[in-house]
Amino acid sequence: MAENPRILLVDDEPAIVKVVSKRLEAEGFAVLTAMDGQEALATAHREPLDLLILDLMLPKLSGFEVCAMLKQDDRYRTMPIILLTARTQEKDEKLGYHCGADAYIRKPFEAAELVGTIRRLLAAPGVPSKEVA
């Protein structure tokens, strides 16, 4: 794991971005942010990243679309992607894993769960937290 892993946090709710960014920075992560799907893709292509945290309900491109586009690109195939979302239906979770997500965390969430998932994925990139049925 890199000394200060670089994480891109993508959410269109400023309060979530602020709270999650502060917690991740306190844990030693370098956090970049984006507020919509297009900005997420542009940032991912411009900045070296170790992990992406992605909301599903975003302006311009959905989290499903961003996840699928990145996972189809060889440069990002093994980069862990965590979907952090208020969408709680099982079909959404299955679709998230089908698009290439490595973990699916529902809002509201415990910060310790998110940090633990990040650390586990960075320690073993390319190993999803759950297999798709």
Domains of the chain: 6-123 (3.40.50.2300)
The predicted model scores a pTM of 0.91
Mean pLDDT of 54-61: 96
Average pLDDT score over the chain: 92
pLDDT 10s digits, 24-48? 999 999 999 999 999 999 999 999 9
Strand duo 51-54 + 81-85: pairing = parallel
**Is residue 82 classed exposed, middle or buried when 0-12, 13-18 and 19+ CB atoms within 10 A define those classes?**
buried
CB 47 within 8 A of CB 6: yes
Number of Cβ within a 10 Å radius of residue 33: 18
Q: What's the confidence (pLDDT) of residue 3?
A: 79
